[in-house]
Structure 1
Amino acid sequence: MVGRVGGPVCVTGGTGFIGSSMVVRLLEDYSVRTTFVVLSGYSKRDTSYLTNLPGETERLEIFYNADLDHPETFRPAIEGCVCVYHVAHPVDVSTNLKDGVDVPMETITQTSLGGMLGILKISVESKTVKRVVCTSAMGTTMFNWKTT
């Protein structure tokens, strides 16, 4: 897959609001690879809002089961790309649940940091990625009203 302008790009976290918006926009000029995570207990997410886009069959590849706890799962989506937009983040803004269990903030932070470092490492090892753009999660700016 070669984009119309400069080669394929990767967007991690393509089911999120920002990630899916980026995929839609980037498909206008590039071939796009995007990653989705499928949590246990959930069926595969509906991706028709992306797979029904004009030109999608020629320029969009979706990689399921990318997991920030296991950054190597991003390698197939990243290798061969010229740019990586790292938008995936392990925090659900409504809850800190994973598989129905409350996740401590330090675990979320470690997953986020480890995932980002893994994606950076894979990007360097690819020898094709020229730029990595990392975003933050809303959770980093939210105020905790609880006092301890």
Structure 2
Amino acid sequence: MDPPFLDEPMPAAIGGYRNDHTQRWARLADGFVFVTPEYNHSLPAALKNAIDFLFSEWAGKAAGFVSYGTNGGTRAVEHLRLTLAEVKGACVRSPVALGLFTDFAIPDLAEPGTFTPAEHHEGILTRMLGELADWSTALRTLRASR
């Protein structure tokens, strides 16, 4: 999704989306993996904006996290967990936290660099995806009862 800045006339908690891009976004999957950098100790504004477009659609949906930044992007994930809790999303326990200077080869800060993740991330990613699949499946019953 590539939403503009929040442009619905009514708050998402009320529903009744009028814009096509919001209606398309509202047809969410059962679970999500959010991949996010950390900016200023938080998540990027564009990601927060995308979440804010919806409300009830997040309820009972599982979320896993892959973050990156100088400290692995962990503060972005913590803010993302709080944001998703407010819209009744279910966050899984095991995040993948990639260090900007340990999991990326960046010989020149003016260049993009190369993704070189440490081996231990594979086990963490596998665990997170397993948790996400389990929670997405378990929460299906809850979503169906609404």
TM, length-normalised to structure 2: 0.33
Q: Tell me which structure has the larger Cα radius of gyration.
A: 2
TM, length-normalised to structure 1: 0.32
Higher relative contact order (CA 8 A, sep 6+): 1
